[in-house]
Copies of this chain bind each other. A is one copy, B any other.
Amino acid sequence: MLQIGELSDLTGVPAKTIRYYEDIGLLPPARRDDNHYRLYEQKDAERLRFIRSARALDFSLQEIAQILAARDRHEPPCGHVMEIIQSHIDEIEARIRELEQLKQELTVLYDAGQDLPEDVHMRSCVCNLIQISGTKKGN
C-alpha cells in the first residue's frame, strides 16, 4: 500500500500529475485510507509507468486513454496502437522537415543581420528583414 508520494517516487510522476490523471479519468479513482489519503498498489505503478512511457513517446493523453480503455475491456489494442505509432512517425517526419526549413530561414536571417552596420535609425535592422522573410505561413 503506497501513498501518493511513494507512488510518485516509484514512477517519477509528480503527485500533482497523478491526481490530475485521476481527475481526467486516466487513472481510476484511488482507494482511500481512513484519513482520505489515496492508497495505491503495484498495479497502479505499472499503469502509471505505461502512461509515462507512452508520454515519453509523445502519445497524447487521449490516445493513451483509448489504449488503456481497450486494455481495461480486455481487448488487445495492438492494431490501434500500431496505427497511432505509424501516424506519429509521419507527423514527426513532417515536423522535422518544417523545423529544418525554419532553421534555414532563421540562419539566412541571422547571417544577413550580421552583415548590417550599426544603425540607430533602424533603417537597417533585422526587424526589417523579418518583414520580408517568413511570409510563407498563411499566405
Contacts and interface: CB of A to CB of B under 8 A. Distances in A.
State the oligomeric state as a number of copies: 2
A96 B85 contact: no
Chain A interface size, as a band, is 35 or more
Contact of A102 (B77, B92, B138): B92
13 contacts: A49-B131, A50-B127, A50-B130, A53-B133, A71-B122, A76-B119, A76-B122, A78-B125, A81-B113, A85-B110, A92-B99, A93-B103, A99-B99
Contacts of A92: 99, 102-103, 106
Shortest Cβ-Cβ A-B pairs, 3 listed = A56-B134, A53-B134, A56-B137
B127 A57 contact: no
